[in-house]
Amino acid sequence: MAKKRGIMSERLKEEIAKELGFYDVVEREGWGGIKARDAGNMVKRAIEKAEQGVAQKNK
């Protein structure tokens, strides 16, 4: 079976997890150990970062 490729880089995921305060869980249990709510918040934050980047480019 082919491995599913993620959209977010590991570095970005780690940065956001640290920002949101659950990186310790990732270190202990891996990405599968985070709560669904944390995963959702992580995606939301990634979208916000992307939108900010686009806004900066368009200035």
The model's pTM is: 0.80
Give residue limits of the domains in the chain: 10-57
Asked if 25 contacts 33 with a C-beta cutoff of 8 angstroms, the reply is: yes
Q: Which parts of 1-59 are beta strand (E)?
A: none
Q: Mean pLDDT by 10-residue block, N- to C-terminus, for the chain (59 residues)?
A: 73 96 97 96 95 87
C-alpha 55/C-alpha 41 separation (Å) is 21
C-alpha 36/C-alpha 18 separation (Å) is 16
